């Protein structure tokens, strides 16, 4: 994506508007130098969910998802299930 430049004015409350298309987005704000900031749209992972994205849990979850794709669920016939008792 080509770079673009726009002039914005920081309001008296210290806010800057980036446009409605970014409303509600989470961003990382990195101070690169004096008067220079880099904004990156980000996804934040809560501390209690980090384990899902690290090994060995990530590989196990990926394998489980792949297995479920290969073995779709079927509706249970309760009459057949009761007859097996």
Report pLDDT digits (tens) over 53-66. Answer: 999 999 999 999 99
Whether residue 45 contacts residue 53, with contact meaning beta carbons closer than 8 Å, is answered with yes
What confidence tier does 85 reach under pLDDT thresholds 50, 70, 90? confident
pLDDT digits (tens, 9 = 90+) for 25-56: 999 999 999 999 999 999 999 999 999 999 99
- pLDDT for position 84: 82
For residue 54, say if its preceding peptide bond is cis, omega within 30 degrees of 0.
no
What confidence tier does 4 reach under pLDDT thresholds 50, 70, 90? confident
Whether residue 22 contacts residue 41, with contact meaning beta carbons closer than 8 Å, is answered with yes
Q: DSSP alpha helices (H): ranges in the chain?
A: 57-70, 78-83
- Under 8 Å CB-to-CB from 25, ≥6 apart: which residues? 41
């Amino acid at each position: 994506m080509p770079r673009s430049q726009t002039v914005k004015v920081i309001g008296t409350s210290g806010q800057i508007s980036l446009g409605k298309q970014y409303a509600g987005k989470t961003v990382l704000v990195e101070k690169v130098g004096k008067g220079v900031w880099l904004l990156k749209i980000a996804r934040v992972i809560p501390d209690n969910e980090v384990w899902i994205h690290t090994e060995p849990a990530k590989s196990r979850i990926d394998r489980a998802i792949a297995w479920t794709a290969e073995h779709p669920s079927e509706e249970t016939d309760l009459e057949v299930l009761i007859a097996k008792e």
